[in-house]
């Protein structure tokens, strides 16, 4: 295993980050996974359906395809396990490996381990590490113990995704049915499936199930491989080992020329000095002792022992440690009964008894109190709701308005004359029309034909004077009350509005 050639960045991840790493590997090598997957599973699907159709048991083909999923899981696991270490296999290599790779552990997954909830996590351990017996059980416990729940939840999520895709394929057929005929078609289809299912319905269900498994299963295997990588990174410190290997490679590449240069310089200096020393030496050399080297100095035994004692007092060198372990309790010894005061429970029981007896009346009293406190808000509304609707006054005009094509020269006088003649809606319509024309002129815009009151109000925001904008909004509000709510202004309000418009908008008198 060449850790330095890994194509992923190893670091400690959470369990769900590791799942995302595995799915990312599947997306990166999608072509290398799904091509051999289709080339292997599609012929198996056709053979099984043909054989079960011959014996009139097409449902058995769908069950067998589901049961053989661990055998098909070897395809994505083989691809991403090789591609992670920089050797992505070809389609031919992947298909050839299925004939000889991983068959012995696979027998367990096709028998008593088939329904294991953590298959995606344990499959890389069994197929990639090649351990057996007690060693295999130990590896399963060490690598899978901390993330067993995550692997089981991953299995449940992927099963739900497969079910969603299966029913989505069925719903995609119903999308092409007319809405009016859908209930009758659903009823007929349900009775057809439950009473006597035809062969083509069973074949379609098998096909939809194979499509759902072919889409989700590689991601399921890749997510389990991501959990496996993260566990080995945490336990075996792969990320640290890779960093040290890269550091050693850089130091070796940088130190080789430097070491060669030092060796050459040392040889150049050492050879002349050695030749001179050999020339001065006598033929008979005397033996060298420790006293000749260090002289007559003797070690201070007392100081040495004191230094040793100080070294042993260092907590880093202390060999003693305290370890706490759990031991199985001896069940033969009788337990001493615990005497505890439970008198405080009587108070809690009395409280719940009070709620059970008077709870409904307490709720009613709270609701009545809230209604009384908020009476000033809802009582006027109730009075207006329960009161009779007042009939519309007979003097309100409801006929269609007929206005001149062009505005008169004296708009204010014409509006007062219409009001005095008993045509208030005509008078207000004339004032509104003249106000719109003045607003468009002062805002410098051109309104579209048939502009609504809201559009005119938005356009009036472009008038530079704030008082002009407020006066136009007042005119629009009076006109809307008269046109839509049939509420006419009083005489004094009408006179004040006309005078203000004439003065502010400088209408000719």
Displacement of CA 220 from its chain's centroid (Å): 17
- pLDDT for 286 equals 47
- Whether residue 222 contacts residue 83, with contact meaning beta carbons closer than 8 Å, is answered with no
- pLDDT for 242 equals 62
Query: Rounded to the nearest 5°, which phi and psi values hold at 77?
Result: -65, -40
pLDDT, one tens digit for every residue, the chain (509 residues): 555 556 677 777 888 888 998 899 999 989 999 999 999 999 999 999 999 888 888 889 999 999 999 999 999 999 998 888 777 889 999 998 888 887 888 888 888 888 888 888 888 888 887 777 788 888 888 777 788 888 899 999 999 999 999 989 888 877 776 656 556 666 666 555 656 667 788 888 899 999 999 999 999 999 999 888 888 888 776 656 666 666 666 666 666 666 666 666 665 565 555 555 555 554 444 444 545 544 555 555 677 677 767 766 666 555 566 778 887 776 676 666 655 556 666 777 777 777 777 777 888 888 899 888 888 777 776 665 555 555 545 454 455 566 666 788 888 888 888 889 888 888 888 888 888 888 888 888 888 877 888 888 888 888 888 888 888 888 888 888 888 888 888 998 988 888 888 888 887 76
- pLDDT for 254 equals 63
Q: Which residues contact 3 (CB under 8 A, 6 or more apart)?
A: 85, 238, 241, 242, 245
- Whether residue 136 contacts residue 175, with contact meaning beta carbons closer than 8 Å, is answered with no
- pLDDT for 505 equals 84
Mapped onto helix, strand or coil, the DSSP state of residue 184 is helix
3-state helix, strand, coil in the chain (%, to 5): 70, 0, 30
Measured between its terminal Cα atoms, the distance across the chain in Å is: 101
d(CA 220, CA 118): 11
Structure tokens at 348: 């809690």
- pLDDT for 319 equals 58
- Whether residue 403 contacts residue 430, with contact meaning beta carbons closer than 8 Å, is answered with yes
Classify residue 148 as exposed, middle or buried by CB count within 10 Å of its CB (0-12, 13-18, 19+).
middle
**Farthest-apart Cα atoms in the chain, separation:** 152
Residues constituting the chain: 509
Mapped onto helix, strand or coil, the DSSP state of residue 154 is helix
- pLDDT for 396 equals 47
CB count in 10 Å sphere of residue 487:
11
Instruction: Look at residues 236, 230, 229 and name the one whose alpha carbon lies nearest to residue 12.
Output: 230
- pLDDT for 264 equals 65
- Whether residue 10 contacts residue 60, with contact meaning beta carbons closer than 8 Å, is answered with no
């Amino acid at each position: 295993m060449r850790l330095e050639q890994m194509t992923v960045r190893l670091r400690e991840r959470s369990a769900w980050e590791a799942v995302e790493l595995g799915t990312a590997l599947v997306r990166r090598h999608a072509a290398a996974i799904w091509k051999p997957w289709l080339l292997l599973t599609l012929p198996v699907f056709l053979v099984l359906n043909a054989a079960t159709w011959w014996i009139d048991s097409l449902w058995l083909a769908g069950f067998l395809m589901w049961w053989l999923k661990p055998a098909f899981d070897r395809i994505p696991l083989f691809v991403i396990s090789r591609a992670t270490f920089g050797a992505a296999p070809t389609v031919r290599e992947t298909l050839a490996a299925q004939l000889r790779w991983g068959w012995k552990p696979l027998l367990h997954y096709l028998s008593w381990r088939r329904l294991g909830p953590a298959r995606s996590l344990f499959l890389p351990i069994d197929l990639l590490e090649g351990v057996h017996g007690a060693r295999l059980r130990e590896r399963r416990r060490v690598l899978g113990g901390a993330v067993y729940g995550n692997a089981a939840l991953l299995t449940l999520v992927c099963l739900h995704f497969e079910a969603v895709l299966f029913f989505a394929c069925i719903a995609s057929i119903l999308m092409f049915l007319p809405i009016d005929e859908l209930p009758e078609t659903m009823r007929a289809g349900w009775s057809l499936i439950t009473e006597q299912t035809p062969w083509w319905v069973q074949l379609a269900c098998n096909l939809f199930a194979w499509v759902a498994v072919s889409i989700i299963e590689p991601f399921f295997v890749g997510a389990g491989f991501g959990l496996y990588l993260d566990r080995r990174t945490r336990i075996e410190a792969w990320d640290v080992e890779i960093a040290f290997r890269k550091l050693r490679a850089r130091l070796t590449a940088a130190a080789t020329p430097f070491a060669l240069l030092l060796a050459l310089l040392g040889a150049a200096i050492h050879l002349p000095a050695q030749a001179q020393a050999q020339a001065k030496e006598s033929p008979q050399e005397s033996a060298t002792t420790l006293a000749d080297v260090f002289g007559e100095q003797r070690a201070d035994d007392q100081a040495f022992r004191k230094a040793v004692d100080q070294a042993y007092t260092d907590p880093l060198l202390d060999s003693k440690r305290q370890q706490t372990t759990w031991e199985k309790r001896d069940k033969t010894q009788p337990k001493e009964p615990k005497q505890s005061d439970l008198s405080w429970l009587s108070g809690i029981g009395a409280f719940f008894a009070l709620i059970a007896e008077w709870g409904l009346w307490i709720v009613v009293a709270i609701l009545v109190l809230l209604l009384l406190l908020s009476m000033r808000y809802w009582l006027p509304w109730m009075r207006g709701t329960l009161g009779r609707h007042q009939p519309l006054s007979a003097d309100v005009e409801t006929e269609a308005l007929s206005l001149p094509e062009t505005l008169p020269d004296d708009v204010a006088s014409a509006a007062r004359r219409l009001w005095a003649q008993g045509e208030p809606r005509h008078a207000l319509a004339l004032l509104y029309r003249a106000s719109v024309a003045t607003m468009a002129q002062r805002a410098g815009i051109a309104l579209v034909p048939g502009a609504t009151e809201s559009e005119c109000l938005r356009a009036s925001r472009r008038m530079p004077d704030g008082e002009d904008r407020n006066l136009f909004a007042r005119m629009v509000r009076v006109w809307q009350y008269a046109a839509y709510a049939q509420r006419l202004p009083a005489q004094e309000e009408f006179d004040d509005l006309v005078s203000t418009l004439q003065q502010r908008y400088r209408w000719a008198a």
